[in-house]
């Protein structure tokens, strides 16, 4: 039996001890001797187990690493505050779930950065592991600390904490990196010598090999390579043939219920739509699909090996997948009779999707979801959201005729050029949807009122989007705008059928600072962590006061990063990253947003964004 890192007393004192014991179905335990393991990799999602275990990317990389000869990859998550406290008091080092051995003794610690509010948890993981927080203080006694995931598209706020950032999709360069590491250790290279060589591998960014300068007004000036190996630009890595890269047949099945307790089938990467606020829609270009055959095979294998009762499709916009109808029918025919639920997020609501949904869901309990993102057509043109009021009302009408009576609508507030009319438009659109219900469904067939739920978050400009120059607003202003919507909701004819909720305001502003911050922000993150900030993505733990004090202590003004509309000429700390999509294209999008005009999607007409040079995907569709 495996010996656990934590004593029975500790495990019985904390919430959900199963978070820390490993040993789940399909988790991989290797024998160091027999399997000739010379590379130990810790793959970390810096949040609680239930969140981290729901993430597909880690499952893909875990599977990929464990297929490699001589490599053993294990998982690490953030200990919840109850255990965090005990580990600090008793000086227990953070451990990998599989081996239950200290992370510090392993070769690599890879941390995925999925959202900005996990940044203090990154420091927690390093700290509890006994790894120096700053890259410059580390020696060969410490693992190489790697960062990956969407937040690395502006890695600068975390630059001092990481040895290497991996830019782009993880399936391509790890073999090379591990080979280099093996040679470096064998030949007795210094850590710096290893990092300099690593910088030569495409897609890898080694922040310590650069100096950063700033202009007098505090804006970013340039990044200066300190060594000849450090490239001026780092091009993101991208997989062109998604049918010939590792994808798990046997994902790990958690013992406890996690957020996504199901098989996840990634049907494609990227999105043809080009919404101007959406970072994922830009950084994952070009759109690449997996083949129907590949997906059928994987769905069958994963359901068999996990025993999950549910399978979900994953992509940014499932309706745009070419073979969606065939895939969904296959899943229904093959698995519905075996009691497998099929969940279909991010579907455009139309006759097809409603037909499919009626086969796989309980209509009385489920709802249909639209993401208009803005309340007026003008505002939707600004953000290039090609969904019209007519689309929404027609989709709702069909849904109501089909028996649904719940509709969810997602919006953003604080978008560039937003006026009171746009805010009130949110309430008016929700009201129109409710009106469609009362027009469509005869009184005797109604089961009470319809329920129209509108939710709004606050727009946060992200790097590599058409709106990366936009300003944000103070939290009081966000609250004011949300109240305008709320009051307008109450003033609608169908207000009794409408519900409105909005996201918290202060977290949004901080997220905005991290999203477009520079290297100096690292000091603030460190200061806030020292003050006790942790699990900032969890509203019960978020403490805005600690952050405000930390900004003051570091002499930095958060407003500098968020409250200015940035001029086109301003250099950005993330400009050295090449995502394929050119800055010229993004500038054009920023200008078109102000006209405002819609930009056609990738399948309608190529806009020459730059992603075509990766040589595949939607850019070459219909060509041989």
| 262 lies in the binding site for other proteins (CB under 8 A) | no
Which residues, 6 or more positions from 461, have their beta carbon under 8 angstroms from its beta carbon?
Answer: 277, 467, 468, 469, 470, 471, 472, 512, 515, 516
Q: Which stretch binds other proteins (CB under 8 A): 1-9, 72-80, 190-198, 221-229?
A: 1-9
Which residues, listed in sequence order, are joined to residue 288 by a DSSP beta bridge?
269
Q: Which stretch binds other proteins (CB under 8 A): 19-27, 48-56, 134-142, 183-191?
A: 19-27
Of the residues 17, 57, 403, 616, which one makes contact with other proteins according to CB under 8 A: 17
Q: Which stretch binds other proteins (CB under 8 A): 21-29, 45-53, 107-115, 436-444?
A: 21-29
In this complex, which beta carbon is closest to other proteins, that of residue 15 or of residue 137?
A: 15
CA distance 56 to 572: 30
Alpha helix stretches (DSSP H) within 413-516? 420-440, 475-490, 505-515
Structure tokens at 78: 């953030």
| 75 lies in the binding site for other proteins (CB under 8 A) | no
In this complex, which beta carbon is closest to other proteins, that of residue 97 or of residue 383?
A: 97
| 336 lies in the binding site for other proteins (CB under 8 A) | no
| 358 lies in the binding site for other proteins (CB under 8 A) | no
Query: From the CB of 43, what's the least distance to other proteins, in Å?
Result: 20
| 12 lies in the binding site for other proteins (CB under 8 A) | yes
Query: From the CB of 104, what's the least distance to other proteins, in Å?
Result: 22
| 1 lies in the binding site for other proteins (CB under 8 A) | yes
Q: x-or-dash pattern for other proteins, window 361-380, by CB under 8 A? A: -x------------------
| 101 lies in the binding site for other proteins (CB under 8 A) | no
Q: Which stretch binds other proteins (CB under 8 A): 2-10, 201-209, 384-392, 547-555?
A: 2-10
| Contact of 536 with 510, CB cutoff 8 Å | yes
CA distance 395 to 467: 29
The percent of the chain in helix, strand and coil, each rounded to the nearest 5, is: 40, 15, 45
Of the residues 139, 187, 213, 338, which one makes contact with other proteins according to CB under 8 A: 338
Which residues, 6 or more positions from 183, have their beta carbon under 8 angstroms from its beta carbon?
Answer: 189
Helix, strand or coil, per DSSP, at residue 289: strand
In this complex, which beta carbon is closest to other proteins, that of residue 9 or of residue 89?
A: 9
| Contact of 337 with 289, CB cutoff 8 Å | no
| 403 lies in the binding site for other proteins (CB under 8 A) | no
Between the alpha carbon of residue 291 and those of residues 241, 288, 345, 616, the distances in Å are 10, 10, 19, 14
| 332 lies in the binding site for other proteins (CB under 8 A) | no
In this complex, which beta carbon is closest to other proteins, that of residue 24 or of residue 297?
A: 24
In this complex, which beta carbon is closest to other proteins, that of residue 152 or of residue 306?
A: 306
| 256 lies in the binding site for other proteins (CB under 8 A) | yes
In this complex, which beta carbon is closest to other proteins, that of residue 262 or of residue 546?
A: 262
Structure tokens at 48: 């609680």
Please give, one letter per residue, the 3-state secondary structure of 449-465. CCEEEEEEEECCCCCCC
Structure tokens at 140: 């060969």
Of the residues 213, 257, 447, 623, which one makes contact with other proteins according to CB under 8 A: 257
Write the DSSP assignment of 547-568 as a string of letters: HHHHHHHHT--HHHHHSSPPPT
Which residues, listed in sequence order, are joined to residue 230 by a DSSP beta bridge?
none
Q: Which stretch binds other proteins (CB under 8 A): 16-24, 178-186, 501-509, 526-534?
A: 16-24
| Contact of 580 with 168, CB cutoff 8 Å | no
In this complex, which beta carbon is closest to other proteins, that of residue 362 or of residue 444?
A: 362
In this complex, which beta carbon is closest to other proteins, that of residue 304 or of residue 496?
A: 304
Angle between helices 505-515 and 544-554 (to 10 degrees): 40
Query: From the CB of 246, what's the least distance to other proteins, in Å?
Result: 22
| 4 lies in the binding site for other proteins (CB under 8 A) | yes
Query: From the CB of 9, what's the least distance to other proteins, in Å?
Result: 4
In this complex, which beta carbon is closest to other proteins, that of residue 23 or of residue 57?
A: 23
Structure tokens at 63: 């599977």
Query: From the CB of 597, what's the least distance to other proteins, in Å?
Result: 46
Please give, one letter per residue, the 3-state secondary structure of 206-237. CHHHEEEEECCCCCEEEEEECCCCCCCCEECE
Which residues in 23-62 contact other proteins (CB under 8 A)?
Answer: 23-25
In this complex, which beta carbon is closest to other proteins, that of residue 1 or of residue 568?
A: 1
| 2 lies in the binding site for other proteins (CB under 8 A) | yes
- φ/ψ bin of 14: left (φ > 0), alpha (ψ from -120 to 50), beta (otherwise): beta
How many of the chain's residues bind other proteins (CB under 8 A)?
29
Query: From the CB of 244, what's the least distance to other proteins, in Å?
Result: 27
| 339 lies in the binding site for other proteins (CB under 8 A) | yes
Write the DSSP assignment of 111-162 as a string of letters: EE--SGGGHHHHHHHHHHHT--SSGGG--TTSPEEEEESGGGGS-GGGGGG-
In this complex, which beta carbon is closest to other proteins, that of residue 77 or of residue 162?
A: 77
CA distance 467 to 76: 35
| 8 lies in the binding site for other proteins (CB under 8 A) | yes
Which residues in 196-255 contact other proteins (CB under 8 A)?
Answer: 253, 255
Which residues in 292-311 contact other proteins (CB under 8 A)?
Answer: 303-309
CA distance 408 to 428: 14
* Binding footprint of other proteins on the chain (CB under 8 A): 1-2, 4, 8-9, 11-13, 17-18, 21-25, 253, 255-257, 303-309, 338-339, 362
């Amino acid at each position: 039996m495996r010996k656990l890192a934590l004593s029975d007393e500790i495990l019985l004192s904390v919430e959900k001890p199963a978070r820390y014991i490993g040993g789940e179905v399909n988790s991989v335990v290797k024998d160091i001797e027999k399997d000739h393991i010379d590379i130990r990799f810790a793959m970390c999602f810096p949040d609680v187990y239930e969140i981290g275990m729901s993430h597909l990317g880690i499952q893909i990389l875990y599977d990929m690493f464990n297929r490699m000869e001589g490599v053993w990859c294990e998982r690490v998550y953030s200990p919840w505050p109850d255990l965090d406290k005990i580990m600090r008091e008793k000086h227990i080092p953070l451990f990998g779930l599989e081996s239950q051995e200290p992370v510090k003794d392993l070769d690599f610690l890879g941390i995925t950065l999925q959202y900005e509010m996990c940044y203090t948890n990154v420091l927690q993981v390093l700290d509890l592991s006994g790894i120096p927080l700053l890259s410059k203080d580390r020696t060969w006694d410490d693992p190489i600390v790697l960062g990956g995931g969407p937040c690395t598209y502006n890695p600068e706020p975390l630059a001092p904490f990481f040895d290497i950032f991996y830019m782009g999709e993880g399936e391509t360069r790890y073999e090379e990196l591990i080979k280099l590491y093996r040679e470096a250790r064998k030949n007795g290279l210094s850590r710096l010598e290893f990092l300099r060589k690593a910088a030569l591998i495409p897609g890898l960014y080694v922040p310590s090999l650069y100096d950063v300068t700033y202009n007098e007004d505090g804006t970013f000036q340039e990044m200066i390579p300190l060594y000849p190996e450090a490239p001026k630009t780092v091009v993101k890595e991208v997989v062109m043939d998604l049918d010939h890269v590792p994808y798990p047949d046997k994902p790990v099945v958690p013992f406890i219920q996690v957020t996504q307790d199901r098989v996840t089938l990634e049907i494609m990467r990227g999105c043809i739509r080009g919404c101007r606020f959406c970072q994922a829609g830009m950084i994952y270009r070009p759109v690449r699909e997996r083949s129907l055959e590949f997906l059928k095979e994987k769905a069958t294998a994963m359901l068999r090996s996990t025993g999950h009762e549910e399978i979900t499709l994953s992509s940014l916009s499932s309706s745009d997948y070419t073979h969606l109808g065939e895939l969904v029918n296959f899943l229904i025919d093959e698995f519905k009779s075996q009691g497998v639920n099929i969940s279909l997020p991010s579907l455009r609501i139309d006759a097809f999707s409603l037909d499919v949904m009626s086969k796989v869901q309980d209509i009385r309990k489920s709802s249909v979801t639209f993401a208009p993102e803005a309340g007026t057509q003008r505002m939707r043109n600004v953000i290039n959201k090609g969904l019209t009021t007519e689309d929404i009302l027609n989709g709702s009408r069909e849904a109501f005729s089909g028996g649904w009576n719940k509709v969810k609508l997602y919006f953003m507030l604080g978008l560039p050029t937003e006026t009171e009319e746009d805010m009130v438009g949110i309430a008016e659109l929700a009201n129109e949807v409710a009106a469609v219900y009362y027009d469509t469904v005869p009184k005797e067939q109604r089961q009470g009122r319809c329920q129209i739920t509108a939710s709004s978050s606050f727009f946060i400009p992200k790097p590599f989007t058409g709106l990366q120059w936009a300003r944000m607003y103070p939290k009081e202003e966000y609250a004011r705008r949300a109240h305008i919507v709320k009051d307008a909701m109450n003033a609608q004819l169908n207000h009794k059928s409408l519900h409105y909720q909005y996201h918290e305001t202060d977290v949004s502003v901080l997220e905005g600072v991290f999203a477009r911050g520079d290297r100096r922000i690292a000091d603030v993150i460190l200061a806030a962590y020292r003050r006790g900030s942790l699990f900032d993505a969890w509203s019960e733990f978020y403490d805005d006061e600690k952050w405000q004090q930390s900004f003051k202590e570091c002499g930095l003004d958060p407003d500098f990063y968020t409250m200015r509309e940035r001029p086109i000429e301003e250099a950005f700390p993330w400009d050295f990253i090449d995502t394929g999509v050119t800055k010229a294209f993004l500038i054009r999008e920023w200008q078109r947003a102000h006209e405002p005009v819609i930009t056609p999607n990738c399948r309608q007409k190529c806009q020459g964004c730059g992603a075509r040079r990766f040589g595949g995907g939607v850019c070459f569709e219909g060509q041989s």
